């Protein structure tokens, strides 16, 4: 295998996914970025209170990046920051009704996106691909 072929392919797929998501979000008139959509879905699907640190771990971005994105989301009436009922030192991130509407649209759209992305991929190929991605992730965590 060529030295940087794997990283180049992963980067190309990532960019294509981001472009496709941006275009779909625009067509659906959601007025969110793919990163904001990912944060919304993380909070929406979470069974526990979510704070900024939880989002930082899930997204693996710098604290300042997440802080900036959350501030924009707050200005755009997508989230509210509240004091935690369990820990007074912690602010939790709560979705607004507008963000919940977006989450429901995103959830429905993700089903369609996964169908489209998975076309012509057999179940065995998917299992192998998923396993390889898990290994790549574990390797990246060790670096």
pTM: 0.85
Cα 100 to the center of its chain, rounded Å: 15
Which DSSP state fits 88? T
Per residue in 58-111, pLDDT (tens digit) is 987 888 999 999 999 999 999 999 987 777 778 899 999 999 999 999 999 999
Beta bridge partners of 95: 79
Helices marked H in 46-91? 52-59, 63-75
Domain limits of the chain?
5-142
Of 98, 99, 100, 130, nearest in space to 114 by CA? 130
Per residue in 104-138, pLDDT (tens digit) is 999 999 999 999 999 999 999 999 999 999 999 89
Per residue in 6-57, pLDDT (tens digit) is 889 999 999 999 999 999 999 999 999 999 999 999 999 999 999 999 999 9
Which CATH entry fits the domain spanning 5-142: 3.20.20.10, 1.10.10.10, 1.20.810.10, 3.40.1080.10? 1.10.10.10
pLDDT at 1 > cutoff 70? no
45 token code pair? 């699907």
Q: Collapsing DSSP states into helix, strand and coil, what is residue 110?
A: helix
């Amino acid at each position: 295998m060529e030295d940087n072929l794997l990283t180049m392919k992963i980067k190309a797929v990532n960019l294509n996914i981001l472009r496709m998501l941006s275009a779909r979000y625009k067509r659906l008139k959601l007025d969110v970025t793919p990163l904001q959509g990912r944060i919304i879905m993380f909070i929406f699907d979470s069974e526990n209170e979510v704070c900024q640190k939880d989002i930082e771990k899930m997204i693996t971005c710098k604290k300042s990046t997440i802080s900036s994105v959350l501030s924009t989301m707050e200005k755009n009436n997508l989230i509210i920051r509240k004091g935690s009922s369990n820990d007074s030192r912690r602010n939790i991130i709560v979705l607004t009704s507008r963000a919940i509407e977006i989450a429901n649209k995103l959830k429905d759209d993700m089903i369609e996106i996964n169908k489209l992305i998975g076309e012509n991929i057999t179940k065995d190929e998917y299992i192998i691909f998923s396993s390889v991605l898990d290994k790549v992730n574990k390797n990246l965590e060790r670096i």
